[in-house]
């Protein structure tokens, strides 16, 4: 697996997704942040894969990607 990743230059990205949570007792909105580890070739692909997955699941309707960064992970074992 490690050799294959190096040959095709796959990388891992962390994608931070923010969505609306239940409002507080005083009515103030809350935000929930979820982090995903994505196997992709670029930040753009990592974001696109995350959006596709969340839309396919259908459990999260309103979300926003707030951050996507490349990790230093070589492989997931």
Say how far apart CA 65 and CA 67 lie, in whole Å. 6
Strand partners, 48: none
How many Å apart are CA 21 and CA 71, to the nearest integer? 27
Residues 6+ apart with CB under 8 A from 11: 39, 40, 41, 42, 70, 71
Q: Taking the model in full, what pTM does it have?
A: 0.78
* Per-residue confidence (pLDDT) for residue 2, from 0 to 100: 53
Residues 24-54 pLDDT 10s: 888 888 889 999 999 999 999 999 999 999 9
Domains of the chain: 2-70 (3.10.20)
Q: Which of 4-13, 40-49, 55-64 has the lowest mean pLDDT?
A: 4-13
* CB count in 10 Å sphere of residue 57: 8
């Amino acid at each position: 697996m490690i050799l294959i990743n190096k040959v095709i230059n796959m990388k891992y990205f962390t994608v931070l997704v923010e969505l609306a949570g239940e409002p507080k007792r005083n009515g103030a909105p809350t935000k929930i942040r979820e982090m995903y580890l994505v196997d992709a070739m670029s930040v753009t692909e990592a974001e696109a894969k995350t959006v596709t997955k969340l839309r396919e699941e259908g459990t999260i309707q309103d979300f926003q990607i707030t951050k996507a960064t490349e990790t230093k992970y070589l492989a997931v074992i």
